[in-house]
Structure 1
Amino acid sequence: MTTPLPQMHGRPVVTDGGLETDLIYHHGVDLPDFAAFPLVDDDRGRELLLRYYGDYVDIARRAGAALQLETPTWRASADWGDRLGWSAADLRRVNRDSVTLLQRLRDRAALETLLVSGCIGPRGDGYVAGEETDPDEAAAYHAPQITAFAEAGADLVTALTLTGAAEAAGIVRAARAAGLPVAVSFTVETDGRLPDGTPLHEAVTTVDAEGPDYFMVNCAHPTHIAPGVTEGDWVARIVGLRANASARSHAELDAATELDEGDPAGLAQVQETLRESLPALSLIGGCCGTDARHVAAMWGVR
Structure 2
Amino acid sequence: MHDEVEMTDALSRLLETRDWLMADGATGTNLFNMGLASGDAPELWNADEPAKIAKLYSLAVDAGSDLFLTNSFGGNASRLKLHNAQNRVRELNRLAAEIGREVADKRDRPVIVAGSMGPTGEIFAPMGTLTHELAVEMFHEQAEGLKEGGADVLWVETISAPEEYKAAAEACHLAGMPWCGTMSFDTAGRTMMGLTSQAMVTMVEKLPHPPLAFGANCGVGASDLLRTVLGFAATGTERPIIAKGNAGIPKYVDGHIHYDGTPELMAEYAVMARDCGATIIGGCCGTMAEHLVAMREALETRPRGERPTLEDISAKLGGFSSEDDGLGEGGAKRERRGRRRG
How would you bin the TM-score normalised by the shorter chain? Answer: 0.7 to 0.9
Whether the 8 Å contact between 1:133 and 1:167 is mirrored in structure 2 is no
Work out the CA distance in 2 between the residues paired with 1:170 and 1:102: 25
Partner residue of 1:76? 75
Whether the 8 Å contact between 2:78 and 2:122 is mirrored in structure 1 is no
Deviation at 1:217, TM superposition (A): 1.2
Are positions 1:158 and 2:155 aligned together? yes
Whether the 8 Å contact between 2:214 and 2:241 is mirrored in structure 1 is yes
- The residue type equivalent to 2:56 in the other structure is Y
Q: Which residue of 12, 32, 40 corresponds with 2:39?
A: 32
Q: Secondary structure at the match of 1:258?
A: strand
Deviation at 1:48, TM superposition (A): 1.7
- The residue type equivalent to 2:256 in the other structure is T
Residues 186 and 10 of structure 1: CA distance in aligned 2, closer, same or farther (over 3 Å): farther
How many residues are paired up?
280
Deviation at 1:39, TM superposition (A): 0.7
Partner residue of 1:87? 86
Partner residue of 1:223? 223
Whether the 8 Å contact between 2:26 and 2:284 is mirrored in structure 1 is yes
In structure 1, stretches of 5+ residues that fail to align are 61-65
Range 186-195 or range 133-142, more displaced: 133-142
Deviation at 1:3, TM superposition (A): 2.7
Work out the CA distance in 2 between the residues paired with 1:265 and 1:106: 27
RMSD, aligned α-carbons: 2.6
Whether the 8 Å contact between 2:243 and 2:280 is mirrored in structure 1 is yes
Whether the 8 Å contact between 2:249 and 2:260 is mirrored in structure 1 is no
Q: Secondary structure at the match of 1:196?
A: coil
Q: Which residue of 12, 24, 33 corresponds with 1:16?
A: 24
Residues 73 and 31 of structure 1: CA distance in aligned 2, closer, same or farther (over 3 Å): farther
Deviation at 1:131, TM superposition (A): 5.1
Residues 52 and 181 of structure 1: CA distance in aligned 2, closer, same or farther (over 3 Å): same
Whether the 8 Å contact between 2:22 and 2:281 is mirrored in structure 1 is yes
Partner residue of 2:211? 212
Partner residue of 1:63? none
Residues 282 and 6 of structure 1: CA distance in aligned 2, closer, same or farther (over 3 Å): farther
* Pairing of 1:111-122 with structure 2 (within 5 A): 111-122=108-119
Q: Which residue of 228, 232, 235 corresponds with 2:235?
A: 232
Residues 17 and 274 of structure 1: CA distance in aligned 2, closer, same or farther (over 3 Å): closer
Q: State which structure, 1 or 2, has the greater radius of gyration over its C-alpha atoms.
A: 2
Partner residue of 2:61? 57
Work out the CA distance in 2 between the residues paired with 1:212 and 1:260: 30
Partner residue of 2:319? none
- The residue type equivalent to 2:69 in the other structure is E
TM-score of the two chains, using structure 2 as the length reference = 0.74
Whether the 8 Å contact between 2:225 and 2:243 is mirrored in structure 1 is no
Partner residue of 1:197? 194
Deviation at 1:285, TM superposition (A): 1.6
Are positions 1:183 and 2:191 aligned together? no
- The residue type equivalent to 1:233 in the other structure is G
Q: Which residue of 282, 294, 299 corresponds with 1:297?
A: 294
Work out the CA distance in 2 between the residues paired with 1:13 and 1:270: 14
Residues 156 and 270 of structure 1: CA distance in aligned 2, closer, same or farther (over 3 Å): closer
Work out the CA distance in 1 between the residues paired with 2:14 and 2:159: 20
1:87-126 CA-to-partner distances (Å, cap 9, x unmatched) read 32x2211111111111111232x23211111110001189
Whether the 8 Å contact between 1:222 and 1:274 is mirrored in structure 2 is no
Whether the 8 Å contact between 2:240 and 2:280 is mirrored in structure 1 is no
1:230-259 CA-to-partner distances (Å, cap 9, x unmatched) read 32213x4343221101235xxx88xx7331
1:41-94 CA-to-partner distances (Å, cap 9, x unmatched) read 12xx2222222221222222xxxxx72121100011111111101132x22111
Q: Which residue of 99, 102, 113 corresponds with 2:100?
A: 102
Deviation at 1:145, TM superposition (A): 0.4
Residues 123 and 168 of structure 1: CA distance in aligned 2, closer, same or farther (over 3 Å): same
Range 94-103 or range 10-19, more displaced: 10-19
Residues 124 and 259 of structure 1: CA distance in aligned 2, closer, same or farther (over 3 Å): same
Identity %: 23
1:204-232 CA-to-partner distances (Å, cap 9, x unmatched) read 21133112221021113221123333322
Deviation at 1:10, TM superposition (A): 6.0
Q: Which structure has more RCO (C-alpha within 8 Å, separation ≥ 6)?
A: 1
Work out the CA distance in 1 between the residues paired with 2:242 and 2:165: 16
